[in-house]
């Protein structure tokens, strides 16, 4: 397991949240 995994899913989640807020 890479150490960047938690940060990676967190970045993806934040990105998804930002896109959702922008296109809402």
Distance from C-alpha of 4 to C-alpha of 23, rounded to nearest angstrom = 28
Please give the pLDDT value at position 7: 74
Q: How many residues does the chain have?
A: 24
Q: Which pair of structure tokens corresponds to residue 23?
A: 């296109």
Name the token pair of 19: 């896109």
State what percent of residues in the chain have pLDDT above 70. 79
Distances (CA, A) of 13 to 20, 22, 23: 10, 14, 15
In this prediction, the residues of the chain whose per-residue pLDDT falls under 50 are: none
Structure tokens at 3: 């150490």
């Amino acid at each position: 397991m890479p150490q960047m995994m938690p940060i990676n899913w967190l970045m993806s989640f934040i990105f998804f949240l930002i896109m959702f807020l922008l296109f809402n």
